[in-house]
Amino acid sequence: MLDAAERLMLERGYIAASIAAIAAEAGVAVQTIYNSVGLKADVLAAVLERGATEPSGSGESALQDPVASPREASGPRSATDIIRLLVDWCVETNVRTAALRRVVAQAAGVDADVARLELRQSARLLHNFSETATALRDRHALRSGLSDHEAAAAIWALAHPQVYRSLVLDLDWSLGAYREWLGNTLRATLF
């Protein structure tokens, strides 16, 4: 179902990809989608979540998520490791979800449920980046006078999918240039 939903939303856009069309494409009943996933905004959220967490189509495994669990014992040991993993995670996640995030941005203007989804995702990302900021503070790496909240907001602003979309997709930066800029700017801002 999610494959069908993603394919139709990318091809037709959010509005034209009705639940009925998704069900037909997936070969299931409309009620099956409502029962197993929910409303159309829930389907979009599930597709986006899957894109952010599943391996890329290249067969590579998904990267360790330094955003969700930077304080775990098995996590990165140094502040430099955290930033490197964070940059890798941001690049790979943005590459995998850029087209879907464009669907979200377009749909948020016409569907209040998607607008709330977009806000929830931004809030969750900011919260997760606060874990990253705390992990950096634990390693005595944050610049003096920079609070964990300010550090999380800085990471959120720099790593936001819209920044990736603007620089890489709209202004034709290479992934290498974006990766280097993100790492350098995060270090300059936080350390």
Burial class, 190, CB count within 10 angstroms (exposed 0-12 / middle 13-18 / buried 19+) = buried
pLDDT in tens, the chain (191 residues): 999 999 999 999 999 999 999 999 999 999 999 999 999 999 999 999 898 887 554 434 344 455 555 555 566 689 999 999 999 999 999 999 999 999 999 999 999 999 999 999 999 999 999 999 999 999 999 999 999 999 999 999 999 999 999 999 999 999 999 999 999 999 999 99
Provide the sign of the torsion angle of the four alpha carbons 179, 182, 188, 190, taken in this order. negative
| Tokens read off for 19 | 């639940």
Q: What is the pLDDT of residue 77?
A: 83
Distance CA 85, CA 66 (A): 6
Q: What is the pLDDT of residue 71?
A: 54
